[in-house]
Amino acid sequence: MAGAFDAARGAVPVMTPSAPVEGYLRHLTVERGLARNSITSYRRDLAIYAGWLDAHSFDGPGEVGEQDLADFVRYLGTEREPPLATSSIARVLSAVRGLHRFLAEEGAIAADVSRELRPPKLPMRLPKAIPVEEIEALIEAAGGEELHELRDVALLELLYATGARVSEAVSLNVDDLVDEEVVRLFGKGGKQRIVPLGSYARRAVDAYLVRARPVLSARGSATPALFLGLRGRRMSRQAAWDVIHRAADRAGLAASVSPHTLRHSFATHLLEGGADVRVVQELLGHSSVATTQIYTLVTADTLREMYTAAHPRAR
């Protein structure tokens, strides 16, 4: 494994904590095909680990023992400035466990001492969904006849109609509109799924394609991207976030609204309408139904609230 070179030692290779990290990131990129955003997240989290190793004079993960990892967990939560939240600690430790497992499988370290490493327990956080009336107000607030307004409505309608992640939506090409009825989405790890569009989203996307996208496309170089910025380039994730924030402000929505709010609302409203949880799992692109089942807790909470408010002997 490659290392840095120490000039004082006559160009003798010296192992650094960042070298195995780079090898692991190459593995995630090339062999596992993780998306760029996922690699960026792994790189950021493992940089924290590599920095800690370097600060404590470890040449690499191979010198770390179980107690050292326990010390690292304590550092993340109490000693680091600023300390990380429980959810962030869990994410960093997941990356560290993956790194150690990879190095052990490759024979680069003698043993995987991270196998028994357990992240702190996360408090259960239910997804935030907003009522259908607020979804309608959000989309209406984005509407208008300007080019960007036609695009923004199409984007919001598509996000709510399909439950797409914002990264999936801005990565869409025109050809991913398979026909008038469905759209092809590419999820984590390049996993493909086909999702119905719905009549509202179809009309909004059609209006954008006919009246706005040709004009926007002429402003830039040829691109197959579905959603374009005002300069004719593919719309960015940040631009999509900005669209939602502006519409939420104009609609006067008190709750914090994000692209994931639309995804959560999509799933929650489907389940409230009687959709099977496994159908919702497929539509969301979840690899495990357990991930989707958290939305059933949201609808159960709603039922309990309605029962308590309405039943004469509930209180």
Domain identity same for 55 and 145: no
Mean pLDDT for the chain overall? 84
128 catalytically annotated:
no
The verdict on 140 and 93 lying in the same domain is: no
**Could you tell me the pLDDT band of residue 8, with boundaries at 50, 70 and 90?**
very low
| 172-208 confidence digits (pLDDT tens) | 999 999 887 889 998 877 788 888 888 999 999 999 9
Q: Can 311 be counted among the known catalytic residues?
A: no
Section 23-47 average pLDDT: 91
Catalytic residue among 97, 100, 151, 165: 165
* Shared-domain flag, residues 139 and 270: yes
Give the chain's length. 315
**Lowest model confidence (mean pLDDT) among 38-47, 94-103, 106-115, 184-193:** 184-193
Q: Residue 150 falls within a domain, yes or no?
A: yes
Q: Is the pLDDT of residue 5 over 50?
A: no
Q: Is 295 a catalytic residue?
A: yes
The pLDDT score that the predictor gives to residue 304 is 57
CATH number at 77 reads 1.10.150.130
Question: Containing domain of residue 223, as a range?
Answer: 132-310
Catalytic residue among 188, 203, 237, 245: 188
Question: What band does 219 get if pLDDT is binned at 50, 70 and 90?
Answer: very high
Q: b/e string for 55-69 if b means 16 or more Cβ within 10 A?
A: eeebebbbebeeeeb
Q: pLDDT digit string (tens) for 132-149?
A: 999 999 999 999 999 999
Provide the CATH number for the domain around residue 179: 1.10.443.10
The answer to whether position 86 is within a domain reads: yes
Q: Can you give the pLDDT at residue 250?
A: 93
Helix (H) or strand (E) holding 192: strand 192-196
- Of 97, 202, 213, 263, which one is the catalytic site residue? 263
Q: Please report whether residue 166 resides in a domain.
A: yes
Q: Are residues 172 and 218 in the same domain?
A: yes
* Together in a domain, 157 and 293: yes
**Whether 101 is catalytic:** no
Q: Is 191 a catalytic residue?
A: no
Tokens of 101: 């497992």
Is 286 known to be catalytic?
A: yes
pLDDT at 257: 86
Q: Look up the pTM and report it.
A: 0.59
